[in-house]
Structure 1
Amino acid sequence: MRVALGQISSTKDLETNLKQVSSAAERAAQAGAVVIIFPEAAMLAFGGRLHDDAAAGKRRWEEGLARVAAQHEITVVAGGFTPEENTDPQAPRVTNELRVVTPEGQQTVYTKIHLYDAFGFQESEGVAEGSEPVTVEIAGVTFGLTTCYDVRFPKLYAELSRAGAQVMVVAASWAGGEGKLAQWQLLTSARALDSNSFVIAVDQADPRASEFQSPDTDITGPYGVGFSRVVSPFGVTVAELGMEPAVEVVDLDLSLVEKAKESLPILKNAKLGY
């Protein structure tokens, strides 16, 4: 299966972000990919009046993704935001969602379960958590959908694997800081090993390496460090990008999923559900 990683650096301008998505999707489709995966917050970068901006741009974003998928005949997976229903007007929140859009216009949405209340950041102050794991079939292959901080919770990946997922998506806007890149690499590799699945982890490009962001951007915020990567079910790094925006096309040998389950039956050997 040929997949593409769309490592972009999203901004607070939705139209700029859609242009980046469209350009990357076109390149991926021309290279024969059937799906392209973008980061968390591809719709709008974190910060500012996220609820108001999401409310104003939600329809344009969804229609834009559908247009890109149809025009380039490729399934698009990208992170965005939706205003929370019945939100507190004094403290309005959004949901942090990962949206899958097929060329035929079918849409599947995963709402981020684990919110990034760590390293001094409180995502839950402006974001409402999800509650349900989600899988989706793309070109006959089952994908498990996860977002950023989810990668620190292995039981979610075990649940998705038991539900039939052969490929795990981790769409991220990974905060920088001391040791954070090493943690990103370690965690994405570990989730592949302990779920007997491929992991496709797509992060925002490092803002210091992007023409779309100021070099003064605070890298400790959830903006991205780059280094999007693909890891095999045996923990082997199949592909890894650098800091800068890029599109990478990768062929997945899905036979490795069953081979991993046979030779390293982690989930079959698990005790007490752990």
Structure 2
Amino acid sequence: MRVAVIQMSPGADKGENIAQARGLIEGLLAEQKVDLLVLPEMWTCLGGSRANKFAAAETLPVPGGTGGEAYEFLRGMAVVHNVYVHGGSIGELAGEKILNTSIVFNPLGEELGRYRKIHLFDITTPDGQGYRESAIYGAGDEVVTLDIAGTRVGLAICYDIRFPELFLALRRAGAELIVLPAAFTLQTGKDHWEVLLRARAIETQCWFAASGTCGTHHEGNGEPRQTYGHSLIVDPWGHVVAKASDGPGWAVATINKAFTAKVRANMPLLDHRRLA
């Protein structure tokens, strides 16, 4: 299976972000064939005010129903280009909160599953910037895997990467590939992004497809914030097999299930676990 991680530089304008995503997807597919497209975290609205975030969020339909602008864009890309689409994550309206939600479509435009980010980013980065996702976002509580083109895929989002118990649960649920859209901060990303992804890949013996945002966006008060980018694909031995450059673009790699099986057979980590 050929997987592409799309790297974007989104802002608070949902229409402009959708246009950027469309251009990147069409540019990639004009060059090469892939089976699965992966977008970044919250690519429809990064930054802006609380009101702006709520305005960009969507009420998700029951599977088979008609959704909002971003939902239908993702479904349309799957159908028009005959590919699986992992929609990174978008804002899902949930009363007084927004859920940070991944949606996956097959080439027929059918929804395969949803994952709602479990771990919320309430931290202070080394440069002193504070992040309080829980002020706006609610947390999910479900471990999600699904089948894409015969491969079992586990779903996670951004800050989840720091909690290895989630990824052990995904591996135990049969995951062979884990998809992780993100908007990693520049301050944390430059030190931890690749290290954490490679560690989780080695621990779980899974492929990782991690799609990130890059560039500068602005919060509602005008404060600039930078995200790290460096979208990448990692194999089950922890090697980075594809990586995007600094700006908008993509990285593509083939998921080799025979290699996964070999790594797991030679080092059967699940059989050797004693404490969890």
TM range (shorter): 0.7 to 0.9
SS for the counterpart of 1:121 is strand
Deviations 1:113-156 (A, max 9, x none): 01111123110110000000111211111111100000001111
Where do 4+ consecutive residues of structure 1 move more than 3 Å?
Answer: 27-30, 55-58
Root-mean-square deviation (CA, aligned residues, Å) is 2.1
Q: 1:256 to 1:54 in 2, by over 3 A?
A: same
Relative to structure 1, the CA distance from residue 5 to residue 65 in structure 2 (aligned partners, 3 Å threshold; closer, same or farther) is same
Residue 45 (structure 1) aligns with: 46
Structure 2 residue aligned with 1:109: 114
Distance 1:15 1:56, change over 3 A: farther
Matched residue of 2:68: which SS? helix
Task: Give the distance between the partners of 2:211 and 2:25, measured in 1 at CA.
Answer: 14
1:230 alignment partner, SS class:
strand
Give matches, 1:39-188, under 5 Å: 39-48=40-49, 49=51, 50-55=53-58, 59-78=68-87, 79-84=89-94, 87=95, 92-107=96-111, 108-119=113-124, 120-177=130-187, 180-188=189-197
Does 56-65 or 128-137 show the bigger shift?
A: 56-65
Checking the alignment, whether the CA contact within 8 Å between 1:95 and 1:129 is kept in structure 2 is: yes
Identity %: 29
1:201 and 1:17 mapped to 2: Cα distance?
Answer: 19
Alignment gaps of 5+ in structure 2? 61-66, 125-129
TM-score scaled to structure 1, two decimals?
0.88
2:211 aligned residue: 202
1:62 maps to amino acid: Y
CA distance in 2, matches of 1:264, 1:195: 11
Residue in 2 that maps onto 1:33: 34
Q: CA deviation at 1:14?
A: 1.7
The CA deviation at 1:25 is 2.4
**How many residue pairs are counted as aligned between the two chains?**
258
Q: 1:271/1:129 Cα in 2 relative to 1: closer, same or farther (>3 Å)?
A: same
Q: How far 1:105 sits from its partner (Å)?
A: 1.5
Structure 1: 5+ residue stretches without partners: none
Residue 182 of structure 1 and its aligned partner are, at CA, apart by 2.1
**Secondary structure at 1:235's aligned position in 2?**
coil
Do 2:231 and 2:251's aligned partners in 1 also have CA atoms closer than 8 Å?
no
TM-score of the superposed pair, with normalisation by structure 2? 0.87
CA contact under 8 A between 2:83 and 2:107: conserved in structure 1? yes
Any conservation in 2 of the 1:77–1:99 contact (CA below 8 Å)? yes
Give the match for residue 244 of structure 2.
241
Q: Which amino acid aligns with 2:70?
A: W
Distance in structure 1 (CA, Å) of the matches to 2:19 and 2:83:
16
1:23 positional shift = 2.3
How far does residue 162 in structure 1 lie from its aligned partner after superposition? 1.1
8 A contact 2:59–2:92 mirrored in 1: no
**1:12, CA displacement in angstroms?**
1.5
